[in-house]
Structure 1
Amino acid sequence: MVSARDWVGARTTVTTVFIVAILSAVTGILNISSPVAGGVFSSVIPEVIRITAGFTGTLTGFLLLASVYGLRRRLRPAWYSTVILLPVSAAQGLIQSPARAIPLIGFSIISLVLCLLNYRAFDRDLDWNVTQLSALLAIAGAQTYATAGAYALREQFNGVDSLFDAFYFALVTGSTVGYGDITPRTAVAKLFGMSALLVTVASFAVALGVLLTPAIEARLTKALGRMTESQLEILDNHILVLGHGELTEPILEELEDRADVLIITPNAERAQRLSDRGYDVFTADPSDEESLKRARVEVARSAIVATNNDAEDALAILTARQLNPDIHIVAAATQRENEPKLRRAGADTVISPAALGGHFLAESAIGGGGLETVEERLLEEQPDEMVEDADTNAADTDANSDD
């Protein structure tokens, strides 16, 4: 059953911001290729601003895509940038052409509301490592060097008349585009151009390596049947399956396409097989505190513990209950005498499949009728319907006891 939290949670926020980013980029491209005269403020806004809003809409879209990456990691700076860019995106739509930008404006407003509602969900600080800081400083330093040098030697260049021209020269030089519209006229300018080329290209190469390394690591992690940190950080209102065994398989089949499920198992080979089948798997010890924290147990909807080892299940239950006192924990007891122990460990509901199956078989053997019908009804009934029936029966029992 989909709850209201699923519709307005952090995952939905990231999705809608991603849609805004795509719409902004597409709308900007359309306005560049086929400009539309008019707009709500066309009578008071100069034409140059309307034209600028047209092509900068694409830039806003790409900036929002970068913010989406940060939102997936629940970064607070990404939340701030998104809150700033969404009104800009909506304003660009109003300035350009409201008729063409209606979806952009609408999704921008919806995304902004969702961002404000989920402020607490994006609470991670931006933690730059030494490599990332070095890459940023290298790019900034190289661009500063090329811009300042070109401006200082502007009389020895063709086409450099302002600081903006100098920055343009630094950018096209570092990206190795080299349109040829700015050229050195003296030996000194040529020597400077060569040095600027080496410095800026090297800085871009360093930055490219820093950006590609996490992507390569993510691919390798997926190939090994594990989830990446960014995938773990976006989990919200999910169901944790702590451990994997024979009892877990039918549970996964029942939950498939009904909820977001994360399986935690220490067995790397089993994790690989489950990942190949399309399940989200985290290779870790389900009774380890750090592992459950990384699996975001604090915002999980519920936890299921159903392996063939009641002792290990009890440890997983204790850890999950300690980290999230409000989480609903369901456990399967391999041995019926362990049911009270699992409840004392912190499980809200404990079921013994072996005892239940044995009861059904025994009743059937001594002539109990209708058991197959009961089994078929239980298997065909949706989980939410079963919960409603249980609540109704509990209410009837309380009413009868009062009478």
Structure 2
Amino acid sequence: MQEPTEQQDAGRAPFSSVSDVGAMRRGRVSLPERTRSPVWALTRRLLLALAILVGTVLLVYLDRDGYSDNADGSVDFLDSIYYTTVTLSTTGYGDIAPVTPTARMVNAFVVTPARIAFLVLLIGTTLEVLASQGREALRISRWRKHMGHHVVVVGYGTKGRSAVDTLVSNGVERESFVIVDPSSVALADAHADGLAVVTGDATRREVLRRSGVATADQVIITTGRDDSNVLAALTVRQLNPDAYIIASVTEQENAPLMRQSGANSVITSSDAVGRLLGLSSLSPTLGSVMEDLLTYGDGLEVAERELLVGEVGAQPQSLPDQVIAVVRDEKVFRYFDPTVTQLARGDRLVVVRPAKEKPWAARPGTHNEDFASDED
């Protein structure tokens, strides 16, 4: 195993507080929030309460001759502040009281509504906090009810985000993803991208259970440490024997261990980057083509599609798409392999095509043809 790197690690990231550690151990679920910032809502309420307080103080001070103070008979500015605070808070000691008809009318029709508004603001803030917690619990409950056949992404760093972007660009709904990561930065990034997040350590069974990994179709493991990736893969495989696990490793020597841990597909990042660097050094144009194939959205794309009825019996080289491999009986054959000289029903094609075309669609102009699947 390699030494820990400075990359984001969804298995063992540092925490800044005891509450963060507790959240990590519990595997807290949080869904992307679409409402206004709570800081803004709280600030707005505080400013309104302060405005009511200041307005009432000025109102009492301007009409100070209509009030009597049991201590010295007169009411000054400090007495106005004191009277306002005890009145708005409904404490009401009675040592200062309105004595003139005007002051009493102002208290009845102005100060009393201000007191009610002040209390509503204070109580309303508390109720809103409780209500928001209830709404969040309800949202999570509904989310859990409809969750299933989804994709769990362990680690929302550069690799995890790129994997999600690629799947979304290929038609997977954002509601189908659950991110597992202990980092507050990853939490903010995932929420900004409209994704549900389970905050916690992906090597812990309880955290993965909260992500619904037992019913997930696919699990993508992309943390920055191979040891965390291996342990996460083992835990996922225990909870879901049927999930398709795609995992990344930094070092090629750890790839066999990752496969033994239950990963169906293993991507070696260091070897892939090194090979691309070598190709670019030998041939800058070849390096550009390889980078184009690895970059989604522009230029060329590698895609997989089903065989069309009209393509049955044809040679891979004769199709409009640039076929580079044929998938037959879940085995991958290169396009020149004698086994796939003639395409058969049930074959799937791995092709290179322009990025503007949908990777899962048939070639433009053949959309009305039927797929040559085994069921036909």
TM-score greater than 0.5 by the shorter chain: no
Measured against the shorter chain, the TM-score band is 0.3 to 0.5
Q: Which has the higher contact order (CA 8 A, sep 6+)?
A: 2
Tell me the TM-score normalised to structure 2 length.
0.44
Q: Which has the higher helix share?
A: 1
Larger radius of gyration: 2
